Structure 1
Amino acid sequence: MPQLQQATVRNSLLKALSPADFALLRPHLEPMTTQLREGLIDANQPIQELYFPEVGFASVVTACTEGQIEVGLIGREGLVGAAPVLLGSDRTPQQSFIQMSGEVLRISALELRAAVRKSSKLQDVLLRYVHTLMVQISMTVYAHAALNLEGRLARWLLMCHDRIDGDELVLTHEFLSMMLGVQRAGVTLALQNLEGAGRIKGRRKRVQILDRSKLEQLVGGSYGVAEAEYARLIGGA
């Protein structure tokens, strides 16, 4: 198998590393295809592996008996499993699974910890990413408290759109209702309202983003803060 090259990876976090720090990780990065709803991190179980998404993205969800609600979204800008492992824990009460299938680069938690011990610069970049993820989660809390369903859905669609090529998302109303913590009928109505206003176009199991600016009108300050932090701390690294 050809050796992985930093210039050809699609994960922005890996691209932001110095060549020396990428070289610490490269021998341990294993390409892996992913499927919809495939589990990556199990709640309250030892984390054995972490994942740099290349194509597609993963959801971080609460794992409560009452049901699941998404609190974080990780795509090609990030690393699934980063927060608990880099902050000194071997597990988390949250669950992470694939929301849009694609490809990831897998690395063992043991090898990632070993690389971080060898390079404080690598640790700094990865911890800056953890900070941006924490900001994203705080904005999700704000959105659930301050926005109506259409606003929360618009924010979620914008965040998903950031993490794909093109304008079309593959999803179901059932999946959306779980992610947003609402009834399926509410999601259906919200999608219809967004479509009626020319913001999206809905088809069976697909949503096409038509006008981002119209979606952004609905989200207030809940979208853009975490993205700006990422650009400030990592995007230009």
Structure 2
Amino acid sequence: MTNPKNNSYKNGLLCRLNPDDLALLQPHLEPCALNLRMNLEQAASEITTMYFLEDGIGSVVARTLGREAEVALIGFEGMTGAALVMGADYAAHECFVQLPGNAFRIGAEPFKAALSNSPTLRLLLLRYVQYLNIQTSYTALINARANLEERLARWLLMCDDRVHGGRVVITHEFLALMLGSRRPGVTVGLQVLEGRGFIYSRRGEVRIRDRSGLLASANGTYGQPEADYVRLLGDIRSSPDLT
């Protein structure tokens, strides 16, 4: 449930903080723009700054043996720097801006000091980390077992949860990276979904036209992590201006 005193924030975690916990973070929160491809975390590097996203989307990308794929999405419902909540000080994967937006950033040191001074702050953020772990594990399962059309539909639904107006600005090349697939396959997948009237696709942009149709195309690959977010933290779309 959101805290009505925090309704100046769009970020789902900042909205849910109790007044004492928000007071620990607020003096150190700095608004910033999230530019396309801006690096938010670097794999195997110390986390010096974390971001509470207000809008836009961050992609967590794993790389090995010259290959890469998206393993998690972060939007207004969450934050970067989850490792800090767990007591680590470095990022396991790269995180960069997939869709531009805005965020509040905070240095790692004042953030860790706030965690040390408030068990309730850590508990709330641990719930978010649990959700992020669930999302990542389901992404691994779905990337291994689902076909491209199902994965594409799921990814578009996840983006739709985090953007205004059902409009996703992304190239086919970038989308192929996100899905760990080849560009021609992604192009065919988009054409199939568009032919069914579920989306409208043009160069650099996808618009959601029929969310229920996408849900059917996702064939059960979408929904469980989102249900766990609701169970752990509340409605994923309960942030101001997004309901």
Superposition TM-score, scaled by structure 1 size? 0.95
The C-alpha deviation readout for 1:138-192, integer Å capped at 9, x for no partner, is: 1101211221101000000000010011111100000001111111111100000
- Paired AA for residue 213 in structure 1: S
- Paired AA for residue 34 in structure 1: L
Partner of 2:19: 19
For 1:197-208, list aligned pairs within 5 A.
Answer: 197-208=196-207
Is 1:169 aligned to residue 168 of structure 2? yes
Query: What is the CA–CA distance in structure 2 between the aligned matches of 1:177 and 1:91, rounded to whole Å?
Result: 27
- Paired AA for residue 53 in structure 2: P
Partner SS for 1:68 = strand
- Paired AA for residue 182 in structure 2: Q
Partner SS for 1:152 = helix
Partner SS for 1:60 = strand
- Percent sequence identity over aligned pairs: 47
Query: What is the CA–CA distance in structure 2 between the aligned matches of 1:218 and 1:139, rounded to whole Å?
Result: 17
- Paired AA for residue 24 in structure 1: L
**Do the aligned partners of 1:173 and 1:187 also contact (CA within 8 Å) in 2?**
yes
For 1:1-237, list aligned pairs within 5 A.
Answer: 6-82=6-82, 84-235=83-234
Query: What is the CA–CA distance in structure 2 between the aligned matches of 1:192 and 1:81, rounded to whole Å?
Result: 36
- Paired AA for residue 145 in structure 1: A
Partner SS for 1:104 = strand
RMSD value, Cα: 1.4
Structure 1 residue 109: Cα displacement:
1.1
**Do the aligned partners of 1:60 and 1:95 also contact (CA within 8 Å) in 2?**
yes
- Paired AA for residue 180 in structure 2: G
- Paired AA for residue 26 in structure 1: Q
How many residues align? The count is: 232
**Do the aligned partners of 1:57 and 1:99 also contact (CA within 8 Å) in 2?**
yes
Structure 1 residue 231: Cα displacement:
1.1
**Do the aligned partners of 1:198 and 1:210 also contact (CA within 8 Å) in 2?**
yes
Partner SS for 1:208 = strand
Superposition TM-score, scaled by structure 2 size? 0.92
Structure 1: tracts of 5 or more residues without a match: none
Structure 1 residue 23: Cα displacement:
1.0
**Do the aligned partners of 2:150 and 2:221 also contact (CA within 8 Å) in 1?**
no
**Higher mean Cα deviation, 217-226 or 154-163?**
217-226
Structure 1 residue 223: Cα displacement:
1.3
Structure 1 residue 55: Cα displacement:
1.2
**Higher mean Cα deviation, 23-32 or 139-148?**
139-148
Which consecutive aligned stretches of 4+ in structure 1 deviate over 3 angstroms post-superposition?
A: none
**Do the aligned partners of 1:53 and 1:104 also contact (CA within 8 Å) in 2?**
yes
The C-alpha deviation readout for 1:79-107, integer Å capped at 9, x for no partner, is: 1121x111111112300000000101001
Partner SS for 2:197 = coil
- Paired AA for residue 39 in structure 1: N
Structure 1 residue 17: Cα displacement:
0.9
